[in-house]
């Protein structure tokens, strides 16, 4: 574990942990409470459950598209972009748009939150050198799971307080921005990716 904080990797390791915590917080919070949030906003239970299906379909699409974009433009750029879009989308959901737009926004939210987590898994595995890769991924996911554990309870407390729809969705939107900032501060110059790039230039 000490190797995760050596050779200039300290800041990046901590930022990965923050990003994973926030991403899994949003992912598990939405997956657990979205139907209840939408039901509380006045939608029928059947529609609310359909929203959850739409969220997960969007997640599948987001993971596939995000992976392809990451291969082309780099994981860091794609992750920051997706998380900012996720923030905007979740904020827009709080204003009760039309039904068609609602489904579109929920699908985008799924793609830019749950889908983003899949890309983040690949990003952290590329960051660390081979000898500590499993440790790096394991610790990032382990810390992230804390967010996944806290989210359902935290969101349940918010719903019990009967706050506005805007506040409920901001509870998911704000972590997206925090995760985006964390990804921004990851220092690729001290990563395994920087070494691989130098090797390719030599070849």
What would the DSSP string read from start to end of 83-129?
Answer: HHHHHHHHHHHTT---HHHHHHHHHHHHHHHHHHHHHHHHHHHHHS-
Burial class (CB in 10 A: 0-12, 13-18, 19+), 51: buried
Q: What is the pLDDT of residue 193?
A: 63
Tell me what pLDDT residue 158 has: 83
Predicted local distance difference test score (pLDDT) of residue 202: 43
- Residue with the two structure tokens 């019990």: 160
Q: Which two tokens stand for residue 117?
A: 């987590």
2-202 in CATH: which number? 1.20.1250.20
Residue 146 — φ and ψ, nearest 5°? Answer: -60, -45
pLDDT at position 97: 79
Length of the chain: 203
Q: How far apart are CA 203 and CA 201, in angstroms?
A: 5
How confident is the model at residue 188, as a pLDDT?
77
Structure tokens at 17: 């942990």
Please give the pLDDT value at position 166: 81
Residue 52 Rama label (left phi>0; alpha psi -120 to 50; beta): alpha
CB within 8 A of 104, min separation 6: which ones? none
Distances (CA, A) of 6 to 41, 97, 191: 49, 48, 11
Please give the pLDDT value at position 85.
95
Each residue's pLDDT, cut to its tens digit, for the chain (203 residues) gives: 899 998 889 999 999 999 999 999 999 988 888 888 887 777 776 777 888 889 889 999 999 999 999 999 999 999 999 999 999 999 998 887 788 888 999 999 999 988 888 899 999 999 999 999 999 999 999 999 999 999 988 888 887 888 777 888 888 899 999 999 999 999 877 667 655 444 444 44
8-state DSSP, 6: S
**HSE-CB for 62 with a 13 A CA cutoff:** 30
Contact by Cβ (8 Å): 41, 165: yes
Domain boundaries, the chain: 2-202
The two three-digit tokens of residue 16, written as one number: 């990965």
Determine the Cα angle at 35 with ends 47 and 141, to 5°: 135
Q: How far is 181 from 80, CA to CA, in rounded Å? A: 8
């Amino acid at each position: 574990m000490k190797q995760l904080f050596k050779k200039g990797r300290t800041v990046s390791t901590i930022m990965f942990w923050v990003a994973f915590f926030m991403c899994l917080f949003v992912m598990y919070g939405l997956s657990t409470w979205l139907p209840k949030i939408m039901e509380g906003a006045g939608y029928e239970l059947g529609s609310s459950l359909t929203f959850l299906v739409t969220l997960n379909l969007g997640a599948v699409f987001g993971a596939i598209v995000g992976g392809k974009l990451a291969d082309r433009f780099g994981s860091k750029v794609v992750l920051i972009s997706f998380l900012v879009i996720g923030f905007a989308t979740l904020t827009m959901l709080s204003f009760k748009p039309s039904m068609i737009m609602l489904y579109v926004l929920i699908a985008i939210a799924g793609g830019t939150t749950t889908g983003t987590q899949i890309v983040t898994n690949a990003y952290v595995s590329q960051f660390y050198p081979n000898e500590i890769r499993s440790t790096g991924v394991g610790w990032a996911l382990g810390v992230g799971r804390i967010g996944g554990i806290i989210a359902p309870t935290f969101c349940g407390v918010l719903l019990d307080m009967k706050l506005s729809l805007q506040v409920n969705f901001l509870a998911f939107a704000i972590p997206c921005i925090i995760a985006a900032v964390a990804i921004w501060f990851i220092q690729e110059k001290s990563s395994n990716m920087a070494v691989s790039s130098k090797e390719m230039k030599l070849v």
